[in-house]
Chains A and B, each alone.
Chain A
Amino acid sequence: MQNLIALLVAAPLLGAAVLLCGGRRLDRSGHLIGTLLAAVSFVIGVVLFSDLLGRGADDRTLNQHLFSWVPVGGFRADIAFQLDQLSMTFVLLISGVGTLIHIYSIGYMEHDERRRRFFGYLNLFLAAMLLLVLADNYLLLYVGWEGVGLASYLLIGFWQHKPSAATAAKKAFLVNRVGDLGLSIAIMLMFTTFGTFAFGPVLHSVGDAGEGRLTAIGLMLLLAACGKSAQVPLQSWLGDAMEGPTPVSALIHAATMVTAGVYLITRSGALFNAAPTAQLAVTVVGAVTLLFGAIVGCAKDDIKKALAGSTMSQIGYMVLAAGLGPIGYVFAIMHLVTHGFFKAGLFLGAGSVMHGMNDEVDMRRYGGLRKHMPVTFVTFGLGYLAIIGFPGLSGFFSKDKIIEAAFAKGGTEGWVLGGAALLGAAITAYYMTRVMIMTFFGAERWRNAATTSPDEPSAEPAAEHRGEHAEPHPHESPRSMTIPMIVLAFGSVFAGAFFGIGDRFLRWLEPVTGHQEGNSPVGAATVTIATMVLLVVGAGIAYLQYGRRPVPAVAPRGSLLTRAARRDLLQDDFNHVVLVRGGEHLTRSLVYVDHTLVDGVVNGTAASFGGLSGRLRRLQNGYARSYAVSMFGGAALIVAATLLMRAV
């Protein structure tokens, strides 16, 4: 049975190879091949899952060793896979949501002449992501890690003829490099500390290493997680990544790839448990990001960027939970899975809306769409209820647990983290209600869009047609797009209850991540009630602001915070001032030092030797008598020195 594991990765990899090397003759069938191979991967995943379910709880780890990759002396790097409950959860999420999004893309990318290539990249992404979660050592994980970075880069910049998309792709790649640097340093530290980087040996011998070393590794892993999961301070790429096609935003930049950081932290749980400082840093990053993303999400008028802010914020919840240690790991992964459902569903809904609205992304030109797109409205609405944590839906079960766990951290930290998580829940309710109302309710602001349309760059390539179609004709999307949305909506509604009731998910994942009940200073019921109250308050404020009053077509100036949030809380300005300018100044001063000091020393030495030899040359005048003088002088000196030495 374990020989099937490699096939999980091989199927989409084969798809990527065939589609990217196959050329034009596959243009007609490429999307079907890609979707089929993604589905193959999912089916294998389900087969393996049922096999794991048939085993005892402690016997659910399968290993497959393909070959030794780099056997050099004491250094061993293997291509080997490890499938346990944690990997299994990810495999099902990645290949399941991935297959749905492949199906959705068939309809969404129908008119794109580079659709075959798009599916090739999607398959490449699936292969890399599955490799990331199936690897049994950190080095192979790193291969997958870089692979998803590459696929993300290719897909963000898929419409490379648009300068904004090309820039966004480069930005994502560069910011991710910073995180990747952290991961590579962490792996090197692991090798020097433990002499290996296989998960088993490293995580079992954590006790032998000093805490300082573990903290360093933990912080480097956190840096890696920040890059891939768009956490503060490496969050700036995610908003721009929305330049990619919407299915990409749904699959990579919401459901799967951006959660790789959470996987990394959870996988290295044993290591973080032994390094409390690193763990505290993880929780702080998570708490800051969940508020940061939520605030950004409140101010964006671009529907995809609002959802991107929300993604950042929700991953902040997961990172926060993963930083809490054994009381949080399970809930981090649980929220990750439910978030995978509802956020992918929301993004697909947003894509469906854009599809019907001539690729308009500005929510101020939506409104009243519920009558025109009933399926999208219902699925998006269910996703909305799930994300804000409406009782009984997915987000309710997973997010509440995280808030409880944050309080259970204990002490001042517990109160601060729990408070941040609660506040985040209120803001989530606010910005999601805002998105919902602006898109599906209220006046149909798109009716006169042509006259008021300011020239804003739109995220989709068909934007140039907008001028010709003066007024969009919203219509429901084709079935290949609505069916994945309906499936994901089912997930958004029932996954939480399925996982949460009877602690099914907890019992499934506990053997890998470990679990311990925290003793919360506030009861579970109190937390739930507080969350509900804040949810109603947040949604209510949004309703008063956007539901009761007409939404202006041009964004009002807004308060200082709103304007800052529209510019992503000045993250790019900060990066520009601190990193770009700072970097320029640094390089300039280094060039100056190089020119004056380094070159000065080198050139000065050469010049002084040149001058000295010019002087010495004069002695070489060819007159035998002057040579004789120097000989006599030298002899006299030697005699004098000898006499002097003897006198002493």
Chain B
Amino acid sequence: MNPVYYLYLAALLFTIGATGVLIRRNAIVVFMCVELMLNACNLAFVAFSRLHGNLDGQIIAFFTMVVAAAEVVVGLAIIVSLFRSRHSASVDDASLMKL
């Protein structure tokens, strides 16, 4: 099977993730979309690894997974504490950083 299809799939997943980040308000969903984008990247890395015939991409994918895991820990903690203080998980409610 042509590895290029994997790239198309990665691009599709990335676009879905980005769209979700931009248009959804629920922080959990936005978070899931970010994960989706990260996984799209991983898929692309692995596909490129296959295309170029070396292991660099696969190794990077591992790094990405580690970073994503750490990010999930921190991100979920933030969302939970935000929810506790505001009783809402909407990202638009946390709009205090404006002039």
Contacts and interface: CB of A to CB of B under 8 A. Distances in A.
The dominant DSSP class at the A interface is helix
Given A632-B18, A632-B22, A625 B99 contact: no
B92 interface: yes
Contacts of B18: 632
Contact of B99 (A617, A623, A624, A632): A617
Q: Give the 7 A-B residue pairs with the shortest CB-CB distance, closest first.
A: A622-B98, A622-B95, A622-B97, A623-B95, A624-B91, A621-B98, A620-B99
A644 interface: no
B21 interface: yes
B22 A629 contact: yes
A628 interface: yes
Contacts of B25: 625
Interface in B64-99: 91-92, 94-99
Contact of B95 (A617, A621, A632): A621
16 contacts: A620-B97, A620-B98, A620-B99, A621-B95, A622-B98, A623-B91, A623-B92, A623-B98, A624-B94, A624-B95, A625-B21, A625-B22, A625-B23, A625-B92, A628-B21, A632-B22
B26 to A, nearest CB: 12
Nearest to B27: A624
A490 B22 CA distance: 113
A508 B23 CA distance: 109
Interface in B1-57: 18, 21-23, 25
Interface residues of A, number: 10
Interface of B: 18, 21-23, 25, 91-92, 94-99
A632 B33 CA distance: 14
Nearest to A635: B18
B88 to A, nearest CB: 14
A624 to B, nearest CB: 5
A632 B96 CA distance: 22
Contacts of B98: 620-623
Contacts of A628: 21-22
Interface in A438-485: none
Nearest to A632: B18
Interface string A605-648: 00000000000010011111100110010000000000000000
Nearest to B95: A622
Contacts of B94: 624
Nearest to B96: A622
Nearest to A636: B18
Contacts of A620: 97-99
A629 B98 CA distance: 16
A159 B92 CA distance: 87
B86 to A, nearest CB: 14
Contact of B91 (A617, A625, A629, A632): A625
Given A620-B97, A622-B97, A632-B22, 10 more contacts: A617-B99, A621-B95, A623-B95, A623-B98, A624-B91, A624-B95, A625-B21, A625-B92, A628-B21, A628-B22
A613 to B, nearest CB: 11
Contacts of A629: 22
A628 B30 CA distance: 11
A621 B94 CA distance: 11
B82 to A, nearest CB: 11
A624 B91 CA distance: 7
Interface string A417-434: 000000000000000000
A366 B23 CA distance: 110
Nearest to B98: A622
Contacts of B21: 625, 628
A617 B21 CA distance: 23
A621 B91 CA distance: 13
Contacts of B23: 625
A622 to B, nearest CB: 3
A86 to B, nearest CB: 81
Interface string A49-63: 000000000000000
A621 B97 CA distance: 7
A616 to B, nearest CB: 11
Contacts of B95: 621-624
A69 to B, nearest CB: 65
Contacts of B91: 623-625
Nearest to B19: A632
A110 B21 CA distance: 106
A578 B18 CA distance: 77
A435 B18 CA distance: 109
B31 to A, nearest CB: 12
